[in-house]
Amino acid sequence: SLSLSLSLSLTSGLREAVPMWIYTAKLPDDQSNHKFAAMSSGMQQLGPNTVARQRTGKFDTDAARWKEGFSSGEHVFEVVFPVAQRGVHASVGVGRDSVPLTINKSCSLSPGNFSVVSEIEFSTCSTPYSPLIDQVFLPDKFYMYLDADSGCLMFGSDHTYYGTAFDGIPTDQPLFPMVSAVTHGATITLFYRG
């Protein structure tokens, strides 16, 4: 069945320990690189941290990419993406700067609606990283944690740490936070929290 919210598939049925670094993230003094910098023609930038899908119809997937890519360090992003605006193919994750920002078909970039994408995966609407069985439906506001040193992408909310969605992500090139949507009017805000 189709879900109207982003879902997260955890890497294990067991609860994993919360990494302490997610609570001690520090903002850099210079925030000028922490904003959306590239997007498809179907996206409109509403502010430095907010994009909205303006293309009508649900036959194309439109994406936006963050200005700064990360090849090391631990990073926290706050994501605001209202459940009612997600539709069935919303994606939030990381990708390389070579990932195209539009594709002429409606697709979710991964089975769990989160994506670790590369150019090939985006064009085929698939991911080599297999989300596992447990799924969690995320609220309107949630957090994405990127450990670029170990190649892990994790998620949580204000009250819950959901765990690792993907691990073993290649870190030989910078990873850029990315979002995508197929629903007209879908509005996504991303804040870098350190």
pLDDT in tens, 1-43: 222 334 444 444 446 777 777 776 666 677 778 899 999 999 9
Domain count, the chain: 1
Which tokens belong to 29?
């003094």
Residue 134 confidence (pLDDT): 56
| 40 lies in some domain | yes
Residue 135 confidence (pLDDT): 62
User: Tell me, what CATH number does 177's domain have?
Assistant: 2.60.120.920
| 103 lies in some domain | yes
Give which of 95, 61, 62, 72 is closest to 177, Cα–Cα.
95
What would you measure as the largest C-alpha separation in the chain, in angstroms?
45
| 53 lies in some domain | yes
| 188 lies in some domain | yes
| 77 lies in some domain | yes
φ, ψ (nearest 5 deg) of residue 113: 70, 10
Q: What is the pLDDT along the chain (194 residues), one digit of tens a residue?
A: 222 334 444 444 446 777 777 776 666 677 778 899 999 999 999 999 999 999 887 778 899 999 999 999 999 999 999 988 987 778 888 888 888 888 776 555 433 333 444 333 444 444 444 443 356 678 899 999 999 999 888 888 888 888 888 888 888 889 999 998 888 999 999 999 98
Query: Distance between CA 91 and CA 81 in Å, rounded?
Result: 10
| 1 lies in some domain | no
Yes or no: say if 155 and 31 are a contact pair by the CB < 8 Å rule: no
| 2 lies in some domain | no
Residue 7 confidence (pLDDT): 44
Give which of 153, 4, 184, 157 is closest to 89, Cα–Cα.
4
Domain containing 103 equals 7-192
Parallel, antiparallel or unpaired: strands 50-53 and 43-47: antiparallel
Sequence-distant (6+) residues with CB within 8 A of 189 are 47, 49, 50, 79, 80, 81
Tens digit of pLDDT for each residue in 176-187?
999 988 889 999
| 92 lies in some domain | yes
Yes or no: say if 51 and 64 are a contact pair by the CB < 8 Å rule: yes
Residue 95 confidence (pLDDT): 86
Parallel, antiparallel or unpaired: strands 161-166 and 36-39: unpaired
